[in-house]
Chain A
Amino acid sequence: MSFKRLLEQHQGIALIDQDGSEMTYNQLCLKTDQINEELDQVNNNPLLIFILCQQNIATVLAITAVMRSHHVAFLIPETVDNSMLSKLIDIYLPNIIYHTDDTSQNIENLVNKPVALHPDLCFLLSTSGSTGTPKQVKISNSNLYENAKSIASYLEISKKDRAITSLPLSYSYGLSVLTSHLYAGASVLVSSASIMTRSFWQQIEQYQITGLTGVPYIYEIYKKLKLTDRELPSLKTLTQAGGKLAPELVTYFAEYAAKTSRRFFIMYGQTEATARMSYLPSDQVLKNPQSIGFEIPGGRFELIDNENKLITEANKEGELTYKGPNVMMGYANNRDDLASDEKLGSLHTGDLAYRDKEGRYYITGRKSRFIKVSGLRINLSDVEKFLLERGFDSACTGQDDALVIMIKSKDDPSEKVKHILHECLHIYPGLIHVKNTSSFPYNENGKKDYMKIYQQVTGELNNG
């Protein structure tokens, strides 16, 4: 089974535009067929397409068209920095750029040279949110289908459900909200409204949205906006992913869900697994607020110790690895990487975890150097590289929602550094801490001592 055939079998409303106009599954298939006919006219070969994604119908149609075709799309947020986009164009040489503005002319022809694309390849998704490296995750048609199927199954998404596109469609979690609802024959309100606006909350009521989603900082906003005091009669399900939610917020929303007979799911995943690897069932969240739950249907976790041996006993920490039909085809760093499938089998998450006696998993730390800032996964080594290219010798560390940077420099470059990180990598300056130094602290192995660096920049101990 594939999305191409499945969508043809669904009936009823698939998409709703924020102006209220509805599109049935039948119309969605016809519209995406039209787009694919246009794409096929570009040249006869499968195309590599850059879709500049916005939160609008044109973007959803372009994405769905690609899901139903042999073309491959690189999903790029429309807000991408121009220099970053030209760099990606130079590296990947896309055949066309698909614009999603409200114009009749969407297709911009770019490179005529055919590209060798693996027949199963469907999307290229950014792994680090915004770190701006050319490294992309290769997602196959079956990755996409299996991931959507699994999510639709454990969330019990039905035809009656209706989602809203509050997460970017170019982000694996946002994309999975779309695909899991299309899988189930449910409907999706395609909205560009920010959750900080009155129109967003009006849309929730007017279009009877049944599910809300969010990364941790969105849940802080939900709390600040007193989501729990709102009526929202249509709302049935809340899901959270994209990083660890503070335990007090987990409890806060779990209590709200229990009191109002709603469901609140904690979920865990990575773009490398298309989106999802585990979920904590709604009725277990209050008792286990720290857990990432159980594997999603079709997936399996394993814990590996330092000697690369399988950990079988409970409550012992190791690296979390994942096997499942949604594990990516591998990474791509350039156009030449698009022909292959690495058949990874299992995915090393880079997260350290343990399992309790009932089989629930708990993340205890990170093996590799990633933090999440405003829901964006930031590779600290990439930030160091990025800054070095711009003349700053830096040491980057931090914890979720605090990027901590030490710069080797005589004068204080804080404002400059915050500015370029904001401009190019879209990291909110209020979450960046910068200090200059004459020399970095090193540990006995001659490596930068990131713990000391964290302390010296922030004046605090890193408990993260």
Chain B
Amino acid sequence: MTQTKVNNIQRLKKVFSQSLSISESQINDELEYNSIQQWDSTAHMALVAQLEAEFNIMLDIDDIIDMSSVGKCKEILKKYNVEL
């Protein structure tokens, strides 16, 4: 695993933890949108904004509504050349 990849995974966890107000230990690839109370539509908007700021990208609408889990989010970010 490259250092960039390790860093990016850490950055991603931090973004999720901050925007959903959950602890980093709760974050895994299987965590799904709306499966926990904290990940609701308001938090999803905050998540999108923070992802865009953290990785300096602009997410497409289709990607925003497809981002249904942490795993899915990683897949999507890869499309934007974020090494994960």
- Hey, which bits of chain A sit against chain B, CB under 8 A? 79, 194-198, 200-201, 217-218, 220-221, 224-226, 229, 374, 418-419, 422, 426, 428-431
Contact = CB atoms under 8 A, between A and B. Distances in A.
Contact of A194 (B37, B41, B48): B41
B37 A221 contact: no
Contacts of A198: 62, 65-66, 68
B24 to A, nearest CB: 14
Interface in B8-48: 19, 21, 33-34, 37-38, 40-46, 48
A194 B64 contact: no
A43 B26 CA distance: 46
A432 B57 CA distance: 27
Q: Which residue among B41, B44, B64 has the maximum number of chain A CB atoms within 10 Å of its CB?
A: B41
A225 B68 CA distance: 15
A196 B40 CA distance: 9
Q: Which A-B residue pairs are the 5 nearest by beta carbons?
A: A429-B21, A428-B42, A198-B65, A196-B44, A196-B41
Interface residues of B, number: 20
28 contacts: A194-B41, A194-B44, A195-B41, A196-B33, A196-B41, A196-B44, A197-B33, A197-B68, A198-B62, A201-B65, A217-B42, A221-B41, A224-B45, A224-B64, A225-B64, A225-B65, A374-B42, A419-B21, A422-B21, A422-B38, A426-B37, A428-B21, A428-B40, A428-B42, A428-B46, A430-B19, A430-B43, A431-B42
B61 interface: yes
Contacts, number: 55
Query: Which secondary structure characterizes the binding site on chain A?
Result: helix
Given A196-B41, A429-B21, A226 B33 contact: no
A84 to B, nearest CB: 13
Nearest to B67: A196
Contacts of A195: 41
Interface string B63-82: 01110100000000000000
Contacts of A196: 33, 41, 44-45, 64-65
A194 B34 contact: yes
Contacts of A418: 21
Nearest to A230: B61
A217 B19 CA distance: 16
Given A196-B33, A197-B33, A422-B21, A428 B65 contact: no
Contacts of A431: 42
Nearest to A197: B65
Q: Which residue among A217, A220, A430 has the maximum number of chain B CB atoms within 10 Å of its CB?
A: A430
A79 B38 CA distance: 12
A217 to B, nearest CB: 6
Nearest to A192: B34
Contacts of A79: 37
A224 B65 CA distance: 11
A418 B21 CA distance: 9
Contacts of B44: 194, 196
Contacts of B43: 428, 430
A219 B46 CA distance: 15
Nearest to B18: A430
A229 B61 CA distance: 10
A430 B21 contact: yes
A176 B45 CA distance: 26
A195 B33 CA distance: 12
A224 B42 contact: no
Contacts of B41: 194-196, 218, 221
A225 B61 contact: yes
A166 to B, nearest CB: 10
A374 B43 CA distance: 10
Nearest to B65: A198
A374 B37 CA distance: 14
Contacts of B38: 422
